[in-house]
Structure 1
Amino acid sequence: MPRQVDHDARRRQIAQAVWRLATRGGLEDVTLRQVAAEAGVSARLLQYYFGTRRQLLLGALEILNAEGERIARERIELLGEDPGMRAVVRGVLLELLPLDEERRNRHLVYVAYFVRFLADPDLAETVRQAPPALERLIADLLAQARELGQVHPEIDAPAEAAFLVAGAEGLQASVLLGQHTPEQAVSLVDHQLGRLFVR
């Protein structure tokens, strides 16, 4: 009887190879052959699952994002049934910081993609909506918190969300470079949330 192949697991195996190469030396010169060797698969199999180099880079990024979202949901669920809007917003923002090895590695991969996107505007166009989507999520959470009386009533939720996301993303680099410790970054996020939330 032929062995069943877990196609999702195989795609993830290949994506993980892209991530490892990205953290070691960026994505500028990564080839399909290098990714295949890193993943322990043939170049033909890699192309079967992802097609071109461009499709491989985007596919690996989609898998990374999906995995990050899943882990973030699990961490937020651990906050309990009714953690309060401040805890939820804080949980979302902390996912943007390299606070542990898993998040640090994820952000190193994002840095490699960022450099690649600067060099390839067509590739960058495919991911241009990611930050606005995150800002909208935070803005919606802040608007709900305002309705519940948990934030100051005069806040501009979209503007504050844009600032919070930009601030957390800026802290990514400073933590990776050792300019701030993870604890300092969390403290800065908490300081900003303290400005908005009344309880």
Structure 2
Amino acid sequence: MPKRVDHDLRRREIGEALLRIASTRGLQAASMREVAAEAGVSLRLVQYYFHTKQELLLGALAYLGEQLSARVEAHIRALGLPPTPRSLVYGTLTAILPTDAESRRLTRTYAAYYTLVLDEPQLAADHGTGYPDALERFLAGHLRAAQQTGQVDPDLDAPTVAAGLLALTNGLGSSVLGGQRDGDAALAILTYHLDRLFGGDHHVDGSRAEPRGVGTVAP
């Protein structure tokens, strides 16, 4: 009998091959022929699953969003903190910072997409901001929950603050990749801003604590 082909798996393998190229050489190097070589398949097969380069880029971007979601969920579980608004915001943002091999790979890959958008703005228009927008909404939701329980200023604009926190985290990630600071320094800066937002006299899990110094990293 002919071997059954898992088409979803094959598409994913090709999309993730593009992501590997993006994280190491940039998307300018990710021609469909190069992706085929990286995936160990024929160019014709790549073109069967992704008819155009644009379709391949957007398909791989969706896989990248799934990888980042899995990273965030695993990181939050690993922290072992009670699921408070503060711990979820902290866990999400610290998962994004490039402080280990996996988060550096994800940051480099997203940076490759951002660089490509400068030359191909249509990429961003075609759903290229879907995951960042969803992440901002996720953060804003937890900030609103913190407002309802008096953990943060009830007058702050949650969507604006969420966008600012994500921009701060992305900027810190770029500074780590660029060699301006290391991951620990970036984490200390992010923690400082979260302390100011939620109140420096609380641990990341929401429990009371003695006041901490500016550079202290939580938890």
Q: Report if TM-score (shorter chain) is over 0.5.
A: yes
Structure scoring higher RCO (CA < 8 A, sep ≥ 6) equals 1
Counterpart of 2:40?
A: 40
State whether structure 2 residue 173 is matched by structure 1 residue 172: yes
Q: Find the aligned partners of 1:71 and 1:129 in 2 and give their Cα distance.
A: 17
- The superposition leaves residues 11-66 of structure 1 with CA deviations (integer Å, 9 ceiling, x where unpaired) of 22212221222233221243211111111101111112222111111111111111
Counterpart of 1:106?
A: 106
2:154 partner amino acid: P
Q: Is contact 1:155–1:196 with CA below 8 Å preserved after alignment?
A: no
Q: Find the aligned partners of 2:99 and 2:175 in 1 and give their Cα distance.
A: 12
Is 138-147 or 7-16 further displaced after alignment?
7-16
Counterpart of 2:145?
A: 144
- The superposition leaves residues 94-130 of structure 1 with CA deviations (integer Å, 9 ceiling, x where unpaired) of 1321111111111111111111111011112121344
Q: Find the aligned partners of 2:9 and 2:131 in 1 and give their Cα distance.
A: 25
Is 181-190 or 121-130 further displaced after alignment?
121-130
TM-score, length of structure 2 as denominator length: 0.83
Structure-2 change in CA distance of 1:13 and 1:138 (3 Å): same
Q: Find the aligned partners of 2:66 and 2:22 in 1 and give their Cα distance.
A: 18
Counterpart of 1:161?
A: 162
2:189 partner amino acid: L
Structure 1, unaligned runs of 5 or more? none
1:9 positional shift: 2.6
1:80 positional shift: 4.4
Counterpart of 1:192?
A: 193
Is 19-28 or 49-58 further displaced after alignment?
19-28
Structure 2, unaligned runs of 5 or more? 203-219
Q: Is contact 2:75–2:95 with CA below 8 Å preserved after alignment?
A: no
Counterpart of 2:135?
A: 134
Counterpart of 1:22?
A: 22
TM-score, length of structure 1 as denominator length: 0.91
Q: Is contact 2:117–2:124 with CA below 8 Å preserved after alignment?
A: yes
2:6 partner amino acid: D
**Dislocated runs of 4+, deviation >4 Å:** none
RMSD: 1.8
1:157 partner amino acid: A
**What pairs up with 1:117-132 in 2 under 5 angstroms?**
117-126=117-126, 127-132=128-133
SS of the aligned residue for 1:149 comes to coil
Q: Find the aligned partners of 1:43 and 1:116 in 2 and give their Cα distance.
A: 22
1:4 partner amino acid: R
State whether structure 2 residue 67 is matched by structure 1 residue 67: yes
Q: Is contact 1:32–1:43 with CA below 8 Å preserved after alignment?
A: yes
Q: Find the aligned partners of 1:152 and 1:194 in 2 and give their Cα distance.
A: 13
